[in-house]
Chains A and B, each alone.
Chain A
Amino acid sequence: MNCREVKRQTRGGALQSALVSEVRAHLEACAQCRRRTSLDRLGASLIRAYAEPRADEGTSPRSYFFTRLRARINEGHATDASLNFWEAAVIAGRGWLLAFGAVAALLFAASLSSLHLQASRYATGPDLSVEALALPSGSENILIANGESLSHDAVLMTLVPEDQEHGRK
């Protein structure tokens, strides 16, 4: 039996009786497994000892157990009764409020990014497909992709963002 097998067999705590001698033989030969198993066994024994009742422990609850239980139940009662409608609604709807807040935050973030996208597109100029921008500046008219014919200056004006245009004015 190797270390892995011993580890596997001793993991659950209970060991099949047929395997005890094999495991014991391995433990005698392997210091690492021996240490590990001893620590496991000792830990389990300590926890059991902790849970064992002491000899001087009484076998009945203290006399005020029921008085305190009654008071606690009544206190829970009073706390609940003292809540007004909105407090109760907040407590009951805390989960919904959180979910609503999360959705609102997501929507806000989405609208911000959308605005940012539009602004960046605007900064690069209007979305016009100009086929004839390479024409010499002396030309009278420039043919726009949609068949419209504009003067050279008019085309340049459309390429300048509106606010810059206002600023220039």
Chain B
Amino acid sequence: MIGGASSSQESICGLGSWDMNGYLPATGSVVLSPSFSGTERVLPTVPPSDHSVRNSAVRNPADDDALIERTLAGDEASFEELIRRHSRRVFSIARHFFRHPETVEDIAQETFAKAFFSLASYRRGASFEQWLAKICVNNCYDELRKRKKRGESLISEMTEDEGTWLENKLARISFEIQLGESERERAAEIAERLLTGLSAEARLILTLLHAEERSVREIAELMGWSEAKVKIRAFRARHEMRRALERLTLIEQRKRKGREVQAVES
């Protein structure tokens, strides 16, 4: 049991026992151990940059299955262990889609809450992490669509520096554009403007392709789409991204011309 369950275990919302109300068999009360509620737990929210999280997290599915069985039987510490095992990956996915820590945590929480309520429907023997990843990606997609629907926009005008940087990058004939450490923050801010201008679907596909570095087949499995559908959507998403980038550079060019005209006139 993680952190060691003690007799002073606190129950969820102080109800004393956790009636699963149909989700779990009523074989016992489920209480949270102190480690679950503790503030000292250290779980990495940030993925390593080389995406080793996805590859290193290959575990024996039987271990996860045993924990799931125990959770379904009412052992809350087992669910806690499942979270501990897989939170790194879940946070990593959410972080690829969103930059703000609050949003990332919200997505992670939603993912674990949904997983908890759907645990009985999880097919034993399959990869639990993959199952969680599906839930998490779908949560991210829902959030992107919600934001688009609300018309939420974070687009602000690019600074002169950012515009020049973007144009310089585009002017280079380089197959691989390498970004230095000092450039990353600026690039991320421009990326935020770029991504906000894209449709939710394009953003989903491009993030899975470039940030998550998933193959077409992996995306197809993750989203439950056919590979052909993924390819078509990726093609459209790239087209959308190119247009959005063109718009950003055009705006910058116009601004620059305007400044030049003003300078000449004055």
Residues of chain A whose beta carbon lies under 8 Å from any beta carbon of chain B: 11, 13, 15, 20, 23-24, 27-28, 34-54, 57-74, 76-77, 80-81
Asked whether B42 lies within 8 Å of A52 as measured between CB atoms, the reply is: no
Asked whether B46 lies within 8 Å of A53 as measured between CB atoms, the reply is: yes
Asked whether B238 lies within 8 Å of A51 as measured between CB atoms, the reply is: no
Asked whether B12 lies within 8 Å of A52 as measured between CB atoms, the reply is: no
Question: Quick one: which of A15, A23, A43, A62 contacts B238, CB cutoff 8 A?
Answer: A43
Count contacts on B: residues with CB < 8 A to the other chain: 70
Asked whether A76 lies within 8 Å of B207 as measured between CB atoms, the reply is: no
Q: Which residues of A contact B177 (CB under 8 A)?
A: 38, 41-42, 45
Q: What 0/1 pattern do residues 1 to 44 of B give for CB contact below 8 A with A?
A: 00000000000110100111110000000001000111101111
Q: In angstroms, how far is the closest chain A Cβ from the Cβ of B85?
A: 14
Question: Quick one: which of A51, A58, A59, A63 contacts B207, CB cutoff 8 A?
Answer: A51
Question: Quick one: which of A53, A54, A68, A73 contacts B116, CB cutoff 8 A?
Answer: A73
| Contact residues of B: prevailing secondary structure | helix
How far, in whole Å, are A41 and B174 apart by their CA atoms in the complex? Answer: 8
Q: Which residues of A contact B178 (CB under 8 A)?
A: 45
Besides A27-B175, A61-B41, A61-B91, 16 other CB < 8 A contacts? A38-B173, A43-B242, A44-B209, A49-B184, A49-B188, A50-B188, A50-B211, A53-B49, A58-B45, A59-B46, A64-B39, A65-B43, A69-B83, A70-B13, A73-B116, A80-B22
Q: Which residues of B contact A42 (CB under 8 A)?
A: 166, 169-170, 177, 245
Asked whether B184 lies within 8 Å of A62 as measured between CB atoms, the reply is: no
